[in-house]
Amino acid sequence: MAGLRDTLELLSNEIGPSGREKAVRNRLREMFSDPSDRFSVDALGNAYVYRTGAGDEPRLRVLVAAHMDEVGFIVTRVEKSGLLRFEPVGGLDARQLLAKRVLIGDDRVPGVIGAQPPHLLDDDDERRAPKMESLAIDIGAASEAEAKAKVSEGDYGAFATRFSVLSGEDSPGLAGGPAGGPAGASWPTVLGKAFDDRAGCSVLVELLRTSYPVDLIGAFTVQEEVGLRGARVAAHREAPDAAIVLEGTVCDDLPLPEDEDETPVTRLGGGPAVTLMDRRHVSHPGLLRLLEETAAAEKIAIQYKSPGIGATDAGALHLAHEGVPAITVATPCRYIHGPAAILNLNDLHATFALVGAALRRLTRDYLTFDR
């Protein structure tokens, strides 16, 4: 499955903040250039790929979704000094932005989010978290006119991080984590931006390279980070029998003081994370049972995302028409919504294996509440 890691690299390096996912969509269009892929785009910008099932009719129609957009920012004002004021697009934390490299607009103009050096800070400043409205982007322009020759108000931007391999070889075991690989294998980790949700997009790309007993609709959605907007359109357009959302989700497995609880939200190397409930969705019990039974049968370690945290495209998908059974499966990632994230390739491969096996096992019995 070397293709999964390579796909993640290609998609992670593209720039695609919410509402400006064109570069990611065009990369996907290249990956699905064969007419049999039936690649299409709706009015909002969602991209679709279809795989007709190999099972007997009538087949279930299953929508598997992953969002293309990433957190970023939009330029709101060019100062007389040449500095750029901006607003966040999606959930950015001002504490993570200081002195970070960014790229702005279609021309990918490089810049840095300004930060005062420690020499100029007093004790109160050092302890105080910066406010978003106090930050500005420096593109090296000496005046408003010089800056406007390169960028304009309304230009979108994102972090300039490039994908890289931190450790290990891409030869994972499906159980998740170092214990799932060959004896003595290193922990295969990679670094990049926008693993939320280019990790999910990468898994979906690989799932679409084969067929299943069900009719598979691959939906690469837009504007998830600003309100699950693309997923709502996709669900009403396709009216699927069931939906599986692929995500890159939060890790909380860093060391804590000895007297604090070290129970993580999810941990790197623990396998795919299955959402039980979040702020917008309670997972369908039949699909939860499907994933748990599949994981047990395939000997794939899974973990559970703590209830009540965040939201995914499932929050919009499950409300379409008369209701759509839905669930979210995510690859754990450290430092999501920041300049750089880290994931374990074992977890990524295990997410692919779990969802692929679940699609092969899925029947209508799993979509009812009566069993």
Nearest Cα neighbor of 221 from 241, 206, 242, 236 is 236
| CA 297 distance to own-chain centroid | 27
Strand, helix or coil at 100?
coil
Q: Is 90 left (phi over 0), alpha (psi -120 to 50) or beta?
A: left
Structure tokens that stand for 86 in this block: 């901006």
The contacts of residue 262 (CB under 8 Å, 6+ apart) are 255, 256
**Stretch (H or E) spanning 40:** strand 40-41
Among 70, 224, 238, 247, the one annotated catalytic: 224
Q: Can you tell me the distance from the alpha carbon of 187 to that of 170, in angstroms, rounded to the nearest whole number?
A: 9
Nearest Cα neighbor of 167 from 343, 347, 353 is 343
* DSSP string across 188-240: -EEEES-HHHHHHHHHHHHHTTS--SSEEEEEEES--TTTSHHHHHHHHHH--
The radius of gyration computed from the CA coordinates of the chain, to the nearest angstrom, equals 21
Q: Is 224 a catalytic residue?
A: yes
Phi, psi of 86, rounded to the nearest 5 degrees: -150, 165
Point out the residues that are catalytic: 224
